[in-house]
Amino acid sequence: MPAVVHLPVGKTLSVRTAADAFLDSLGNANTIRTYGIGVGKTALRLGEDRPLASVADDEVGEALEALWGTAAVNTWNARRASVLSWLGWCRERGHEAPVIPAWTKRLTVPDSDTPVRSRAAIDRLIARREVHLREKTLYRMLYESAGRSEEILGVNIEDLDFAGRRCQVKAKGARTKARRRGQVREDFVLETLYWDAGTARLLPRLLKGRTRGPVFLTHRRPGPGKVVNSRDVCPDTGLARLSYGQARALLDEHTAIGGPGTGWDLHEFRHSALTHLGQAGASLLMLMAKSRHKKPENLRRYFKPSPEAIAELTSLLAPGDSRR
């Protein structure tokens, strides 16, 4: 449970005292780190030693605009949300606190600019001889599962259900089963990813009889001075788990045309899979079940039908005899 924080009695609560008390009341380390940026910088901008009750609403808005007015939409929304929670928390405890003015609105997240690759392009990439079996399996699994790259790279052999063609992963923003320090994977609510025949054919060839440890391994052992979690090392070979940075660099090497850094991104497999499912007629609810998005507006950013698909859909509106 979050710690109970007693605020000073009266209306002399300073901006810094209120900010520190709010952050101390949070129980999750990731939330503290994220909210600490927004609340800490805003408090510094407003003046840490002045009474919180003396801060005007517009001053809060001006501070947000000065600090993050030109930042990315997601950054603006995150910082605004942290300050909104902080000031609301203070008012709930009986202290005078400003509110975020109406003119500092939450912004609509724009569509993602991640490109969608065609099925043929993905198949050609995986079929290339110079692409190692490890990368072939990773790319096929990313595409068929529509999973996030960090989730797939974090899978261990013990997590795989070969017969059901599925595995459980710790998803982005996973809910905790219990609040305690040093949480391990089993303390989080796990989600299920599904793959199909392409991954099912490649996985046994990649594992070569291994029954435990990370699915995707590097070709080297960790250096003598590097501390690695036991879950991230194969107990039989001593090889470490393939990292996101390494996997991304390998994909860029396989797909770059205009020099390093111009190739595909691992996230494009997820975007492509969801778009292809949508074009094939999958409903919004089924797409949300596959992608595990909780909000339809977040899923929309991943669905990018091609001009050909839009043209084919539009043809359904033509007069009855025009398609004969």
Residues carrying an active site annotation: 148, 177, 267, 270, 293, 302
- CB-based contact 242:216 (threshold 8 Å): yes
Report CA torsion sign: 184, 186, 187, 193: positive
Residue 71: CB atoms within 10 A of its CB come to: 13
Q: Which residue has the tokens 């810094």?
A: 16
Spell out the SS3 assignment of 268-316.
HHHHHHHHHHHHCCCCHHHHHHHHCCCCHHHHHCCCCCCHHHHHHHHHH
Q: How far apart are CA 66 and CA 84, in angstroms?
A: 16
**CA geometry: angle 301, 267, 205, nearest 5 deg:** 140
DSSP calls for 57-104: HHHHHHHHHHHHTTS-HHHHHHHHHHHHHHHHHHHHTT-------TTS
Give the whole-angstrom CA distance, residue 145 versus residue 71: 32
Beta bridge mates, 51: 14
Give yes or no for a contact between 230 and 184, defined as CB atoms under 8 angstroms apart: no
Q: Which helix (H) or strand (E) holds 194?
A: strand 191-194
The token duo for 223 is 């250096």
| Residue corresponding to tokens 């339809």 | 296
Cα-based distances in Å from 228 to 154, 241, 243: 14, 9, 12
